[in-house]
Structure 1
Amino acid sequence: MAQAPLRVPRWPAAASEGPDFAAIRAELEVPEEFPPAVLAEAGRRAAQPRLPELDATDVPLVTLDPVGSQDLDQAVHLARRGDGYRVSYAIADVGAVVELGGPLDEEARRRGQTLYNPDRRTPLHPPVLSEGAASLLPGELRAAALWTIDLDADGEPVRVDLRRARVRSRAQLDYPAVQAQADAGTLPDPLALLPVLGELLRRRAAERGAIELGTPDQEVTASPDGGWTLAFRGDLPVEGWNAEISLLTGRCAATLMLDGGVGLLRTLPPARPDDVARLRLLAPPLGVDWPADAGPGEVIRGLDPARPGHVAFLEEAVTLLRGAAYTAFDGAPPEQPGHGGVGAPYAHVTAPLRRLVDRFGTEVCLALAAGQEPPPELRAVLPELPALMAASDRRTREAERAVLDAMEAWMLRGNEGRTFRAVVVDAGPESATVVLDVLAVRARCTGQGLEPGTRTEVRLTEADVAARRVRFEALP
C-alpha cells in the first residue's frame, strides 16, 4: 500500500506551536539584551566616531556578504601589480570605537561572538555600532584597518602594509548576485580578479597541504510560505574565492605576530598519521580514488557531494581537523603555531564586528606593523582570550545544534511509522547516522550491518519536538 503524503508542518502555525528558539537561547544562557551602560557607551561612540588621519577613500572598495547583511566587516579591492597582484582589504576598525576595559569591551568578552538564529541575530556589539557607525556600509566614511598586500605572480606575499585609514565603500554586494556576474563575465572592476586570484590562492593552499572539507551546511532557511524549513547548502564558488582573501590576510597577520614575538593564533594540529591511514583504508570501499602520491586535502577537493560514498568519506574526514584552538604567546612562539586546515600559521583578524578575538589580533598587528610594541594593557588580555572564545564557541555550537534538532523534530512530527530512503554516512555496531533523501534531516538510526556510503530504508520511530530528538530504525 502506498504511503500517505508526507506531512511537513509549516512553522510557525500558531504562537504556541513550533520550535521555541528563544527558549533554546535562554536554556544556553545566550546574552540577549545589552545593559544600559553598554548601550549608552555605544550611542556616544556612534555619535562621535574617531576617524584616522590617513585618507584612503580613493581606493574603490566594495563589500561582499550574504544577502541582507548589515554587519559588514570587510571591504576589498583587487588590482594587477606588474605580473602580480595588489589586495586592498579594509577591516572595520572596532578598536576605534571599543575602549579596552570599558563597558563595551566587557560585554563583548561576555558574548564572544555574534550568534545567528533563524528568528534573530544576537550581536557581539550593539547594532548602533555593528550595523551602523562601525559597519562598512556603502557611501559612509568609516575607520578601518587597511591591509595592503602585494603578491607575486604565484600568489605569494612580497610586501604587507597595515595602517589605520578612513575609507568609503562604493557598493554593498551579495554572493548570489556576484556569482551571477562571475558566470556572465561581468564582475565589477574591484572584484574582476576575484576568480583568478581566488583559484590561484586555492592552488597554493593545496601545495601547502591545506585541508578544506567543504561539506554542505545544514541550515534553517525561510520557506516560500513564510515559515521555516531545513536545507543543505554548499558554498558558491564566489564564497570560496572571497574566503581565500580572508585566509591570506590571516596568514599575513600570523607572520606579523610570529616575527614580532607576540600575538594570538588560531591553531590546529596537523592531521594525525593514524587518522590519515584509517581514511586511506576507507577510500576504496566508498568509491574514492586516492593516488599514492596525493595528500588528503587533494583527495577531498576532488570529491562529489552528490555521491553517497563521497558524502560518507567527508563525514569520516572530519577526524583530520581535530584540536582547533586559540593560542596566545608573548615571547617564545608556540610549539605548534600552524593551522592544519590552512596549511600555515594563521590568525583571526578579519571579522571584528562578529568575533571578539579579531579586534585584539588587529590591535596587535597595527602596533607591530608600525614598528611598535603592543601596549602592556593589550598584551595582558591576550592569555584570557582562548578560554573566553572556547566558551563562546561551545555555546554557539550547542545553540546551532539545538535549533537544527528542534527543526528536524518539528518537520517530522506526525510522520512516525513512515519509511524513508536515506544514505548511511557513518555506522557503528548497533546504530548509524543517516541523511534522508527527501528532507535535509540527519539523525541517528538503530540497526546492525549498516555500511557507510550505502543507501537504505529507515522507519521514523520518534519525532519529539520538546526533547529535540528524532530517531529512526533500519528496515530488515
Structure 2
Amino acid sequence: MVERATSLACDPSASETGRLLTQAFQTIRDDLEVRQAFPEAALAEIEQAVADPELPERDETDVEFVTIDPPGSMDLDQAMHISRDGAGFRVRYAIADVPAFLHEGGALDAETRLRGQTIYCPDTRVPLHPPALSEEAASLLPDAVRPAYVWDIRLTADGERETAELYRAMVRSRRRYTYTEAQELIDGGDAEEALLLLKEVGELRIAREIDRGGASLPMPEQEVGVGTEEDGCDYTLSLRPLLPAEDWNAQISLLTGMVAARIMLDGGVGILRTMPEPTEGAVARFRREVEALGAQWPEGMPYGEFLRTLDRTDTRHLAIVNAATFLFRGAGYTAFDGELPPEDEQVQSAIAAPYAHVTAPLRRLVDRFGLAVCEALSAGREVPDWARAALPDLPDVMEETGRRAKAVDRACVTAVEAAVLRDRVGEDFEAVVVDGVDGDRVQVQLMDPPVSDVATGSARLGSAITVRVERADILAGEVDLRIVGRDEQ
C-alpha cells in the first residue's frame, strides 16, 4: 500500500536515489495515463460551488463526532459518534456530502467519471476531486461545520442492526485521531466514550461477521514513507500489521455498507459491491496448503474464522495469508433498477451479505451515487434522475479506474523496492516463499527490508530461503532475485 509522503522536514529528491524515484513515479503516472491537472472549467465550478453550496437544513453540530484516519490525511470522508441506546447502541456515521458542492452534468462531474478514484503515490496524491473540495470545503476537518450524509443506525445489545436511516445534516467533528492515537487511548483506558464504544461495537460486529461466515484477510500493509534528516530523507519501506482499532473502525464502515445495500435492495434500485463465493475446489486447495504449512484448521471451521486465528505479527503466517488471496477474487459492481439481481449475485462473499460502497465519496466515485440513492429511498422520495441515470455506467468506470490505481500502486512500490536494494546488489537476504508463480519462479517476502517480489528458483510454499539480489533498477521498476539457499525443514 502506498502512503503519501507528508514530511515537510525532508526532501527525498535531494539525494540521487530520491531523484531517480521522483522521475520513476512521474513516468509511472504518465505511462498509465493518470489524469493529474484539473481542467480550468472544473476548478471554476468548484470555486463557485464552495461560495454557494446546497446545504441541508437539519443541524447536528451538537453531536460530538470524531475522525480516525492515517497521519497527515486531509480528505476526511467519515466522522463517527457511538453512544449507548438503552441496552444497545446508536451509531451515527457522518459521510462527506460531495453533491452539496458538485453539480451533475458539469465539467467536474465529467472529470471525476474519468478519474474514478483517488490515486496515492509516495510523492503525491492524485485526487478524485480538486483539493479545494476534497481537502477543504467538503472534508470533515475538526472544528469545521460541514454538510454531511448522516447514517443513524441502532444496534441491539449483541451488535445486530435494529433500525437505520440516512439523512443530510450539518455536522462538526470535534477531534481528529490517528489509528495509533486511538489505539493507545483505548488500550490505556483514557479514551472518550465514543472510542471505548468503538472497541465494544467493533468486537461485537466481528463476532457477527464470524456468525455470518464472513472473512477478513489479515494482510500486513507494505507502506512507503519518508525517512528522517538523519538517515538522508530517502523513501523507506515497512511491513505494518493492522492495528485492532483499524479493524474496529472498518467494521463500522462494513456495517454501513450492509445497511446501504439492504436499503437499495428493498427500494429496487442501486449499485452493490459484489464478489462471488470461492468454489469448493478453491477452498479445498487452500485447506491443503494450510496443512502443508503445518497450521491447524479444525474441520467445520469456516475459512473466515480460521483467518482470524492467524498471528498478524508472525511472518511465517504470510504464506497462509497470501495463499488465501485467491479466495477473494472476482470483486465488482452490480447495478440494478427495477429487476433485482439474482440472489447469488447480490452478495459480497467475504462479507457474507449484500454490501455497497457509500463511505468514501471524496476518494471513490461510486459512493456519491450510492449515498444519493439511499438518502432518497430512506426519506421515501424518488431517486434523483442524475443518480439513477449514472448507475448502468458505474461498474465499467470503477473497474477500469480500479485497475489503473492498482497498477500505479504496485509500480510505485516496486520502484521503491529497487531503490532500497540498489546499493545491496550481490547481498543475500532471508525470505519466505509466499506463493508460486510458475515452474522456476516463486513469490517471496523478504523480512528486512520488507520487499515482496518474484525470485528465480523453486522452493516449497512457506519454506525459509535465502535470496540474492542480482539487479535493482529504479527507473525500470525491476528487481531480480535468485534463490541461493533453502531450509526445507
Q: State TM-score, norm by structure 1.
A: 0.95
Q: Which of residues 241, 247, 253 is equivalent to 1:234?
A: 241
Counterparts in 2 of 1:13-412, with a 5 A limit?
13-14=15-16, 16-20=19-23, 21-225=25-229, 226-335=233-342, 336-412=345-421
SS at match of 2:468: strand
SS at match of 2:424: coil
CA distance in 1, matches of 2:329, 2:100: 35
Question: 1:307–1:163: structure 2 CA closer, same or farther, 3 Å change rule?
Answer: closer
Offset of 1:420 from its aligned partner? 1.4
Offset of 1:190 from its aligned partner? 2.7
Offset of 1:92 from its aligned partner? 0.8
Offset of 1:375 from its aligned partner? 2.7
CA distance in 1, matches of 2:360, 2:209: 21
What is residue 457 of structure 1 aligned with on the other side?
Answer: 466
> Which deviates more from structure 2 when the two are superposed, residues 349-358 or residues 372-381?
372-381
* 5+ long unaligned stretches in structure 1: 1-9
Instruction: Output one character per residue of 1:194-216: Cα deviation in whole Å (capped at 9) or x when no partner.
Output: 11000000110111111111111
Q: Residues 42 and 128 of structure 1 are in contact (CA less than 8 Å); yes or no, is this contact kept in structure 2? A: yes
> Which deviates more from structure 2 when the two are superposed, residues 222-231 or residues 117-126?
222-231
Q: Residues 150 and 157 of structure 1 are in contact (CA less than 8 Å); yes or no, is this contact kept in structure 2? A: yes
CA distance in 2, matches of 1:414, 1:165: 55
Aligned residue identity for 1:97: F
Instruction: Output one character per residue of 1:302-354: Cα deviation in whole Å (capped at 9) or x when no partner.
Output: 11244454211111100111100011011121121000111110000000011
Q: Residues 287 and 309 of structure 1 are in contact (CA less than 8 Å); yes or no, is this contact kept in structure 2? A: no
Offset of 1:376 from its aligned partner? 3.0
What is residue 6 of structure 1 aligned with on the other side?
Answer: none
Stretches of 4+ aligned residues off by more than 6 angstroms: none
SS at match of 1:170: strand
CA distance in 1, matches of 2:157, 2:271: 30
CA distance in 2, matches of 1:11, 1:303: 39
Between the two proteins, what is the percent identity of the paired residues?
Answer: 48
SS at match of 1:414: helix
What is residue 481 of structure 2 aligned with on the other side?
Answer: 472
Aligned residue identity for 2:256: T
Instruction: Output one character per residue of 1:213-265: Cα deviation in whole Å (capped at 9) or x when no partner.
Output: 11111121111232211111221111111111011000000000000000000
Q: Residues 290 and 320 of structure 2 are in contact (CA less than 8 Å); yes or no, is this contact kept in structure 1? A: yes
CA distance in 2, matches of 1:438, 1:88: 42
Q: Which of residues 446, 450, 453 is equivalent to 1:443?
A: 453
Q: Residues 222 and 237 of structure 2 are in contact (CA less than 8 Å); yes or no, is this contact kept in structure 1? A: yes
Q: State TM-score, norm by structure 2.
A: 0.93
Aligned residue identity for 1:13: S
Aligned residue identity for 2:153: I
Question: 1:275–1:12: structure 2 CA closer, same or farther, 3 Å change rule?
Answer: farther
Aligned residue identity for 2:82: L
SS at match of 1:434: strand
Q: Residues 219 and 233 of structure 1 are in contact (CA less than 8 Å); yes or no, is this contact kept in structure 2? A: yes
Instruction: Output one character per residue of 1:349-395: Cα deviation in whole Å (capped at 9) or x when no partner.
Output: 00001100000000000110011221333211101011111111000
Aligned residue identity for 2:261: A
Offset of 1:12 from its aligned partner? 4.8
